[in-house]
Amino acid sequence: MDYDVAGFTLAFAAAARSFAPDVWFLVRRLLGAGVRLGAQALVEQQPPSPAAQPDAASLDEGGRR
């Protein structure tokens, strides 16, 4: 094995080991943002649900569910 190749391999392994936690952190952040955006898009596609019945008392007014 050539010494240049061995040195490059060791340098690459050290860089990968030192930057791997940052890469995983960014990947998790991006995946979380994607899930939030996807959930928001699904909520926006839902038809509006009927509001609570106007004659029923809300929980704040002492009503039960």
Which spans in 1-65 are helix H? Answer: 3-45
Mean local confidence (pLDDT), 5-31: 92
Most distant CA atoms of the chain, gap in Å: 83
Instruction: Please give the model's pTM, rounded to 2 decimal places.
Output: 0.49
- Spatial separation of the C-alpha atoms in residues 24 and 32, rounded to whole Å: 12
What's the average model confidence in pLDDT over 34-63?
Answer: 74
* CA–CA gap between residue 20 and residue 32 (Å, rounded): 18
Contact 65, 59 (CB under 8 A): yes
Which pLDDT band, with edges at 50, 70 and 90, does 46 fall under?
Answer: confident
Decide if pLDDT at 11 tops 90: yes
- Express as a percent the part of the chain with pLDDT over 70: 71
User: Please, which residues have CB within 8 angstroms of residue 51's CB and are 6 or more apart in sequence?
Assistant: none
